[in-house]
């Protein structure tokens, strides 16, 4: 096969890509035939684009195929991570705006794929004109904005009871909790250790100390079962899980991180907390899970 025959076949299939120099190229060419400028292949739809374009000319994605890595060597970015970037903060029931005139829309469905045919993932929206459309346009934080966010299926909030006088949105969260875990009396406080006192759940040693405490993993696995029970109820309603400790920096924050990994179905992250099995039933549910640390970054309380 020659360049001319390859190009003719590509044009018949409407798969040729045009370089910024004006030359047309077959999709198998990773550099322009005339000027040797490289191209990039879209991870979402497989379209080959000239490097002059930062967004795919077919589906508007910004993720190159090479970002997904070689399947045999291991992904640099998993498919789930790729689609999470493309979907962005959008949720079913939320309203968003592309940043153009009259471009507000409501999300009706999100199919994260991968699908057998293009588009490899898809979002279904209803515009202000009432028309329903399907597309795979990625979220661009420089342009897109949230008009009205849909509530999360599950919100996990960590609090320190020594900060109950705090004001703000989450001040009364215990009164609104669906499930509340009080870790103060039954699980030793890492605060008593001088080497951990100034650290928080941001630090691996704190997370390891909390999760290695006898009973913590069993409690969190049981809490995951509670969440499943509430989700199985005949009335759909958002669930709020509150984890409590004294200062909010160690036990509550660590267990909240672990629960978020479990309930969001992130088996890999849950495995880091020894809770992979608890996360597996959630893997296919694709729940929207928010995590809030009310007091994690507050100063250590002298006590």
pLDDT of residue 6: 83
Q: Does 79 reside within a domain?
A: no
301 occurs within a structural domain: no
Residue 100 belongs to domain with CATH number? 2.30.30
d(CA 117, CA 96): 27
Output b/e per residue, 136-172; b: 16+ Cβ within 10 A. bbbbeeeebeeeeebebbbbbbbbbbbbeeeeeebee
**Count of C-beta atoms within a 10 Å radius of residue 50:** 18
d(CA 254, CA 239): 19
What domain count does the chain have? 3
- Residue among 256, 257, 265 nearest 287 (CA): 265
Do 131 and 249 lie in a common domain? no
Beta-ladder partners of 107: 125
Q: What confidence score (pLDDT) does residue 61 get? A: 76
pTM: 0.69
Q: pLDDT, tens digit, for every residue of 124-142?
A: 999 989 999 998 888 888 8
Bridge partners of 290, per DSSP, are 155
- Domain range enclosing 134: 88-148
**Structure confidence by residue, pLDDT tens digits, 174-195:** 999 999 999 999 999 999 999 9
Question: To the nearest whole percent, how much of the chain has pLDDT over 90?
Answer: 52
Same-domain check for residues 136 and 163: no
Within this chain, do residues 97 and 175 fall inside the same structural domain, yes or no? no
State the pLDDT at residue 72: 46
Query: Given 148, 175, 196, which residue is the final one in a domain?
Result: 148
- Domain identity same for 131 and 31: no
- Cα atoms found within 13 Å of the Cα of residue 165, Cβ hemisphere only: 1
What is the residue-wise DSSP string for 26-50? -TT-SB-TTT--BEEEBTTT--EEE
- The pLDDT value recorded for residue 106 is 95
pLDDT over threshold 50, residue 15:
yes
Whether 178 maps to a domain, the answer reads yes
Domain check: are 158 and 286 in the same one?
A: yes
Provide φ and ψ at 73, rounded to 5°. Answer: -95, -10
- pLDDT tens sequence across 146-179: 999 998 999 999 999 999 988 888 999 999 999 9
Tell whether 237 is covered by a domain. yes
Assess if residue 75 is contained within a domain: no
User: Is residue 242 assigned to a domain?
Assistant: yes
Are residues 168 and 259 both part of a single domain? yes
Positive or negative: CA dihedral 195, 199, 200, 204: negative
Do 162 and 228 share a domain, yes or no?
Answer: yes
161 and 288 belong to one structural domain: yes
Same domain, 270 and 169: yes
- Same domain for 138 and 171? no
Within 62-173, strands assigned E span 95-97, 104-111, 122-127, 132-135, 145-148, 154-160
Q: How confident is the model at residue 76 (pLDDT cuts 50, 70, 90)?
A: low
pLDDT digits (tens, 9 = 90+) for 46-73: 788 887 777 787 777 777 777 765 544 4
């Amino acid at each position: 096969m020659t360049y001319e025959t390859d190009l003719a076949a590509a044009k018949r299939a409407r798969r040729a890509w045009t370089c910024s120099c004006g030359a047309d190229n077959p999709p198998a060419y990773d550099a322009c035939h005339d000027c040797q400028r490289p191209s990039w292949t879209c991870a979402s739809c497989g379209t080959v684009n000239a490097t002059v374009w930062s967004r795919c000319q077919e589906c508007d994605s910004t993720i190159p195929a090479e970002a997904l890595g070689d399947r045999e060597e291991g992904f640099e970015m998993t498919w789930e991570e790729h689609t999470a970037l493309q979907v962005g903060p959008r949720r079913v029931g939320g309203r968003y705006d592309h940043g153009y005139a009259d471009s507000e829309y409501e999300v009706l469905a999100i199919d994260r794929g991968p699908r057998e045919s293009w588009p490899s993932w898809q979002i279904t929206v209803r515009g202000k004109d009432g028309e329903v459309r399907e597309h795979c346009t990625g979220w661009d934080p420089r342009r897109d904005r949230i008009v009205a966010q849909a509530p999360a299926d599950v919100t996990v909030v960590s609090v320190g009871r020594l900060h109950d006088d705090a004001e703000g949105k989450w001040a009364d969260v215990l009164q609104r909790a669906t499930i509340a875990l009080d870790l103060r009396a039954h699980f030793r406080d890492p605060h008593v250790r001088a080497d951990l006192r100034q650290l928080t759940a941001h630090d691996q040693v704190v997370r390891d100390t909390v999760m290695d405490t006898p009973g913590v993993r069993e409690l969190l696995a049981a809490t995951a079962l509670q969440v499943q029970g509430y989700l199985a109820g005949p009335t759909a309603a958002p669930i709020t899980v509150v984890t409590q400790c004294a200062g909010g920096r160690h036990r509550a924050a660590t267990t909240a991180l672990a629960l978020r990994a479990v309930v969001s179905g992130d088996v890999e992250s849950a495995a880091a907390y020894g809770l992979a099995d608890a996360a597996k039933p959630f893997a296919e549910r694709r729940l929207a899970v928010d995590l809030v640390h009310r007091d994690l970054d507050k100063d250590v309380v002298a006590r």
